[in-house]
Chains A and B, each alone.
Chain A
Amino acid sequence: MAKVNVKVNFVEKYFPAIAKVAADDLTKKAAEVGERLIKGKTRSGNQLVDGNSIRKQPALSPAWVETRSKLASTNETHAAFSPRRSNLTFTGQLIDALTSKRMTSGRIGIQFFVNASQRAAYNRPDGRGRMSSAGLPNNQQLAGYLADQGREFVGLDQKSRTQINNELTRILRRRLKVLLK
């Protein structure tokens, strides 16, 4: 299965004193901003390949666009959904399953990943109840399948990394005020 998580270590290697005083704030901010950027940029139709420039998600096939249109008539769709928009978003449950946790391996860092939450089956396009949930992949399995098809989304492109870095630098500057007194 293709990669569906990204681990980011920071600061302790070069700045142990900083890591000691600000690890909680840094990891919390990195998680908050990182999750928001991955979700928002993916729903905007982008593919986030870790460490690279951002690029558009591959276009949807005409058959899949038609299926999405039919399903949309009987399912509650996400605000960012459009039948033709390739943004891994229909009801929104897959991208909502993107989460993060602080690493516990003794390092200071964050891991972004898709959790293994169960997916809700879609309503049938003919209005006759729900489709079967038997054999339905969970969100982590689906993310892996999509990544294998070239539709990755768990990553931080260069601009996202720079943005998070800027936010972390601000935390350090704010920490100075406490240390001055």
Chain B
Amino acid sequence: MAAITRKLGPKSGDNVRIEIDLTELFGDELLDRQSVRQSLAQEVIDAIVKKAENFGGKYSDEYSESAEFRAFGKSKSDVNLTLSGQMLSALDVISDNRDKIVIGWEQGSEDGKKAHGNITGKNGQVKTKRDFFKLTESELKAIARQYRDDLTGEERPEGRTVQDILDAINRGARLF
């Protein structure tokens, strides 16, 4: 079994997700600490965003001459899947529990649809496919290795801050 599985629904915006099987990744040790799961998930998100931002290649003439393209000062010769940055910023931790972490876009969201379109080339309707939403098994294991000693147990004495952060994340708090 793979520790990382990508789910991509057939329709635009459908189920654009990556599932990380924690049992597969860490064996029988259960990942009790949500702080560790959230931290690991963020590293996975950061790795995927980095792939997107460094995707490379050229934008079409039509797009690079558009008002929005110029407004955001983008470069024609540097495909980075970022105009305002909204799509990549919406890549989030959908859920996390002792067995599994799910990362992706909210089902049916505008940004999920954009991501789906880029990954699949609008389901084959356009030639350009920009499949940035992936991580290899070995890339995931390299990230996970750093957390092997932190899987279980109590939060550290700095727990108040950790708990505040988890509360903010779990409650979907508006930080801004």
Contact = CB atoms under 8 A, between A and B. Distances in A.
A23 B6 CA distance: 35
Q: Chain B contact residues (Cβ within 8 angstroms of A): what range?
A: 35 or more
Nearest to B168: A15
Contacts of A168: 175-176
Contacts of B35: 176, 179-180
B175 A165 contact: yes
Interface in A129-180: 159, 161-170, 172-177, 179-180
Contacts of B90: 162-163, 166
A11 interface: yes
Interface in A15-55: 15-18, 20-21, 26, 30, 33, 36-37, 40-45
Interface string B50-90: 00000000000000000110111100000000011110011
Given A163-B85, A163-B89, A166-B92, A180 B173 contact: no
B174 interface: yes
Interface in B152-175: 156, 158, 160-162, 164-165, 167-169, 173-175
Interface residues of A, number: 47
Contacts of A18: 161, 164-165, 168
Contact of A21 (B43, B161, B176): B161
Interface string B85-116: 11001101100000000000000000000000
B81 to A, nearest CB: 15
B45 interface: yes
A72 to B, nearest CB: 15
A43 B164 contact: no
Contacts of B67: 44-45, 80, 82, 85, 87
A87 B6 CA distance: 41
Given A26-B175, A173-B41, A180-B36, A15 B84 contact: no
A43 B174 contact: no
Interface of B: 33, 35-36, 38-39, 41-43, 45-46, 67-68, 70-73, 83-86, 89-90, 92-93, 147, 150, 156, 158, 160-162, 164-165, 167-169, 173-176
Interface of A: 8, 10-11, 14-18, 20-21, 26, 30, 33, 36-37, 40-45, 79-80, 82, 85, 87, 89, 159, 161-170, 172-177, 179-181
